Every structure is written in C-alpha cells, then in structure tokens.
Amino acid sequence: MEKVIIHSRKGRETTKKRVSEPEPDYEEEVLKRHKNAQAVTILGEEDASVKLLEDLVFGAEDDLVEKLVEDRVDGGATLLDDGDSSESDVENEARLKVQPTRTAVWEDEDDDLEEEVDMTHRFRRDLTKSDAEAKMSKQKLQQRMKEQFQKAMGGMPSWAETKVKKKKKKKDDSDEDEDGDDLMRKTGNFVGSSDSLPKGIIRMKKCLHANNDRPSEDRLTTVQFHPSAQVVMTAGLDQSISLFQVDGKTNPKIQSIHLEKFPVHKAQFSVDGEQVVATSFRNKLFYIYDMMEGKVIPVHTVRGLREQRVKEFEVSPDGESLLLTGTSGYLHVLTMKTKEVVKSMKINGNIAGVAFSHDGSKVFTNSEEGEVYIWDMRSSKCLNRFTDDGCVSGTSIAASKNGQYLACGSAAGVVNVYSQEECMRQNNPKPLKAIMNLVTSATSLRFNPTSEILAIASRADDEAARLVHIPSFTVFSNFPMFQRKTIYRAHRLDFSPNSGFFSLANNKGHAPLFRLLHYKDF
C-alpha cells in the first residue's frame, strides 16, 4: 500500500491510503465472450418471415441484380463494382446478362397475322394514294393512319412521344437556352438579312382602309406610299388629294387639299417626297403641290408642249424630269426646274404604258398594238423594239427595281414577264412566264421594291387582283380570299418602300390596306 500526500489550503499535509486493484479473472472473461458469440450467432439466423419481409421491401435476388445492371448502364456505382467482393468476374458477368423479358399487356397475337384490309371501303378510301392500293396490310394501314394523324396535328403531339424523344427534346431546349445565354453575353449587330419570300401562301393581315379617316366620295384613281415617311396618298374623282399616316390601326388623316373643278386622274410623289404632281382628264393643266411650303402651284402652259391634254406621266428615278404621255405615240421629257419640254420621242401607234428602268437610263414603252420599245434617255434613241409574245393589244407595262424583269400586260388579261437583258439583246425575246390568272384586261402592274412580288389587276371586274411570286411566277393562293368583297375594281396598286404594306385604289372610294407579315419594316 502506497502513501499519497495531499496539500491542504492551510499548508498542512494530509496522508491518504491508495487501494490496489484486484487481479482480473481471465477464465471468467473467456467464458463470457463465448456466451456472447453464441447469442450473436442465434440472432444472425434468418427466419422465414424475416426473409419474406426482405423480399417484399428490397426485392428478390434476381430483381436486385437487374437493378444493379441498370445502375451500371446509367454509369452509377454499384455493389458489383466493389473490389472486395468474393465473387469472381465470370460469375458477375453471367449474373448481369440475366434480364427478364416482359410483354406488353396490349399485345395481341392476331396482330402478327398477315391479313389484308379492304381499302375500297368509304371510311378507308381517303387513306389510299392510288387506285392500285385496293388491299393493304394491317401494319401498312397503321403506319398510313399515323402519318395522316401527324399531318393533321402538324407533327407528333407531346403526349405521343416516347421517353427517349422527350429526353432528347429537353436536351435540345437546354442547348438553345445555353445558346441564348451566350448571345446575351455578346454585343454587336445580330440582325441578318431577311430570308427570301416563300411561294404558295403569303402571310398577310387585312388592316383598316388606308383612307378610312376620309373615304372618297367618288372613285379613287391613285394610291401611293411616300418614298421615305410612313405616309400614304390617295386621290380621285372627288377633286381632292389626301395624306394619311399609316399605322395599320387607325390611319389618321394628316392633310387634305381640294382642287376646284379638277378631278384627279393621277397623282404622284416626287423622288424626294416634297412635292406631289397631279393631272386631270380634260386639259393640259396640271398641279404641283409643294408640301414643304403648303402651296398649290398650277402649271397652265408648258413651253414646247403641243398637246391638248396631259393625263399619264411618270417621274424619273433621279427626280429631275417628268415623262409625259402625249397623243399619236409621242413621249415628252419635261424638266422639273424650268417646266419646259427638252426632248420628245415617238412610237408607232398609241402609247399604252410607260416605265423607267431602275437607274433611269432607259424607258420601256408598250403600245396599244402590242409592240415594246426601249429608249435611251440621254440620246433619245430607240435601243430595241420587239412584239410582245401573243399580244394583240397592249395595256400596261412595269419594270422591276432590281433591273432584272419586265412585265407587259394585254387586253386579253395575259401578263408576259421577260428578262430585261434578253429584251435588250434579242429582236424576238421569249417570255420567262405567261401569267394567265386574269380573264379581263390587265390594266395595272406593279413590282414590289424587293422584286419578289408582281401585283397585277384589272379594273374591268371585281376582285380581279393577284399577287405573283417571283421568281417562281406562281400566284399566291390566299389572295384575294375573303368572305366578302374587299377589293372591288382596282385602278392603281402600290407597295410601301420596304414592302411592309400593300394597297389598292378601287371604284368604291376606298384604299384597302394589307400588312405583308414577311417584311418587317414599312
């Protein structure tokens, strides 16, 4: 026994006796451990009810193997990947190959039988593509019905897609989102050029009439869009010229001027859009309306002009001159500055239509006898002359702004479209296409600014207007196609500067307005 000295607070030493621990009994400890091992062994034995419960909760051994196989296919870690497993690799591979086969509950053994279906029945007749398909197998019929359903639905609906397709679709959507995020992280101009206009059906929307704020009391003879502003002009037999702002919703009136005893036959903007030139039916008097100063300038006489009346005219692309159509086949070039005739040209017969080339260097003239003349504006010489193919009486002419096409209309309603290059080189050019969608005289022709649409119309019949796709030369099937008449008899056609709008002047005093949705700008 050892002594332990403890120091108290008062400095006195206290002596305490430490009791020594007894020696352990090793035999008793071994016996106790042996009894505990037997108890653990008894607890480790599984009973039938415990085994059944494990199978219900965790599945049988085969199901566990199948689950491990799926996890391995998905790339996840499994118990079989443990390096300490006592089973060999051969046994693992053999177990992984065990996959139970399952049959769908809707399978029918009769479906596998090759049975021909009678396709002449009235309920299945629409599924055939030809008369030769009088009989069809069930599998082919099922595929044909599936194709018809997807065509009617515009594709496969989401509820009919398989899980693989849905996962792929979600992955594509996530890729698009990532691309969008990348796009937002960058700066610069991402606006590209517009795609070419598709043929067949043109996307358009009917808007309020362009002159809805002030309809004409008589027939409209002119509709034209301003070359730079979002403005449209109308004029007609009610002796007035009106300007409207084009928004497609209300189209409010900007201004309207009245010309006393002057029913307007034609009105046209100058190239800069600051002036309007207007002619009438009965005399050679014409007006120039200066919009900047708000003045109406009458031009009573023109030096060098020996005509009794002035009706038709065209403004040159450079804006420096007017091309007046006279009688007996005369063309007069009038300068805008001095208001005098500087040169004249003449064709055989009467003039039916006049059109400038895109650069103003040439003039195309169509005669009532069906002959087409090409003039040089500088030298006033005739560069070429040919007969419009199959034409007996010419009525109109138009040239595309890209300098590629020339359209000639006839009294029979046929519109021939030529290549301007071929018209310059050949004495008897052949048309690229003869458009025969009008049954009355083709009195109005107009190319849109992008030269993708040719508008043709006849004032001799209601709803006689068509839009032709260029360069396929096919007519858009959905114009005009409305529940009631909207166009009536069209006397003039025009497109806005960027082809966003299209309008006509009709005999009811209205200017129907259409929004061409393919084009984004005015």
170: tokens are 């979600």
Give the per-residue pLDDT at 8: 46
Q: How many CA atoms lie within 13 A of 518 on its CB side?
A: 16
Give the per-residue pLDDT at 283: 85
CA pair distance 215, 209, nearest whole angstrom: 9
Helix (H) or strand (E) holding 27: helix 26-44
Write out the chain's pLDDT in tens, 522 residues.
444 444 444 444 444 445 555 566 677 777 877 777 676 565 555 455 656 666 655 555 666 556 655 555 555 444 444 444 444 555 555 555 555 556 666 666 665 666 788 888 777 777 787 777 888 888 888 888 888 777 666 566 666 666 655 566 565 555 555 554 554 555 555 444 457 999 999 999 999 999 999 999 999 999 999 999 999 999 999 999 999 999 989 999 999 999 999 999 999 999 999 999 999 998 889 999 999 899 999 999 899 898 989 999 999 999 999 999 999 999 999 999 989 999 999 999 999 999 999 999 999 999 999 999 999 999 999 999 999 999 999 999 999 999 999 999 999 999 999 999 999 999 999 999 999 999 999 999 999 999 999 999 999 999 999 999 999 999 999 999 767 888 999 999 999 999 999 999 999 999 999 999 999 999
| Contact predicate 120/131, CB 8 Å | no
Give the per-residue pLDDT at 134: 83
Q: Cis bond leading into 24, ω under 30°?
A: no
Give the per-residue pLDDT at 212: 94
| Contact predicate 309/328, CB 8 Å | no
Helix (H, G, I), strand (E, B) or coil at 37: helix
The H-assigned helical ranges of 45-88 are 48-58, 61-73
Question: pTM of the full predicted structure?
Answer: 0.64
For residue 340, what are the contacts with CB-CB under 8 A and spacing of at least 6?
302, 303, 304, 334
Helix (H, G, I), strand (E, B) or coil at 316: coil
For residue 488, what are the contacts with CB-CB under 8 A and spacing of at least 6?
462, 463, 506, 507, 508, 510
- Which residues, listed in sequence order, are joined to residue 234 by a DSSP beta bridge? 223, 242
| Contact predicate 268/313, CB 8 Å | yes
Which amino acid appears at position 97 of this protein?
Answer: K
For residue 333, what are the contacts with CB-CB under 8 A and spacing of at least 6?
321, 322, 323, 324, 341, 342, 343, 344, 345, 377, 380
CA distances to 51, 225, 293, 501, 510 from 243, rounded to whole Å, are 93, 9, 15, 16, 13
Give the per-residue pLDDT at 67: 60
147: tokens are 């194709």
Q: What CATH number labels 204-516?
A: 2.130.10.10
CA pair distance 312, 294, nearest whole angstrom: 24
The domain limits of the chain are 204-516
